[in-house]
Structures are given as structure tokens and as C-alpha cells.
Amino acid sequence: MTNSELIAGLAGPLLIAVAAALLINRRTVADLVTGVLNGPEFIFFSGIFTLLAGLAIVRTHNIWAAEWTVLITILGWLCVIGGAIRIIWPERVTGLRNAIMRSENAITAWALVTLLLGAFLTAKGYALI
């Protein structure tokens, strides 16, 4: 098993679960994310874990090749950047998250993209395709 398959096998099912939660419970998840989980303190600490996950991915898989594995590298770098932004500007992230989560269409679009990415990574991670 390659690092690409290992990371895809972990990230894919996680993305599918998050997407399913968003699609099945759009308002509940939106209320949760804009309520309890929207304080700058939570944003800051989630940034630490997101940055850590991104660094772990990038340190083990910083491969810029013209194949599916580049998605793993991009995912890692997005986590690094997103985690750093959450740590540095938690209040701004709170405002941006509130604006996005107000729209059920935006939630649905994000969930569908996440579901497709998760399904693809799961299939690659478990050698289904």
C-alpha cells in the first residue's frame, strides 16, 4: 500500500461521512456550525488540528504529479493553509463561515463536492477503481 492509498483510505470515508451529515441534516449541521462550534476559541483549536493533519499529509505526501495522487497533496496543503488561517484570524473565519452556512444551496453544493471527492478517494484508497 502506498502513502497515497493510505491517506485516501482515511480521508475518503471521512469526507463521505461529513458530506452525508450535511446532506441529511443541513439545517441541524448549519445551526451547530454557526452556533456552538462557531466561537473563536473553537475555530482556533480546530485550526491547530487542521494544521497538524495538513502537515502530516504534506510531510508524507508532497507529490506534484499529473495523476490522481496530486489530490492528496492538494488536500494536505489546503489543510495547512486553512489551519493556519484559523489560528491567525479566528474571528474572520467565524464571519466567513456564518455567511456561507446561511445558504442551504451553498451547503448542498459543498456537500456534493465533498461527497464526490470522498467517494473517489475511498475508491482509490481501497483499490476499487
Write the pLDDT tens digit of every residue in 78-95: 999 999 999 999 989 888
Instruction: Tally Cβ neighbours within 10 Å of residue 15.
Output: 22
- Residue 65: which residues within 8 A CB-CB, separation 6 or more? none
Cα angle 114, 127, 78 (rounded to 5 degrees) comes to 35
Write the pLDDT tens digit of every residue in 4-47: 999 999 999 999 999 999 899 877 877 777 777 778 888 999 99
Return the domain boundaries, the chain: 3-125
Residue 10's H or E segment, with its range, is: helix 3-24
Longest dimension (CA), the chain: 42
102 confidence band (pLDDT: 50, 70, 90): confident
Residue where the block lists cell 459543498: 110
- Residue 32: which residues within 8 A CB-CB, separation 6 or more? none
Write the pLDDT tens digit of every residue in 39-76: 888 899 999 999 999 999 999 999 999 999 999 999 99
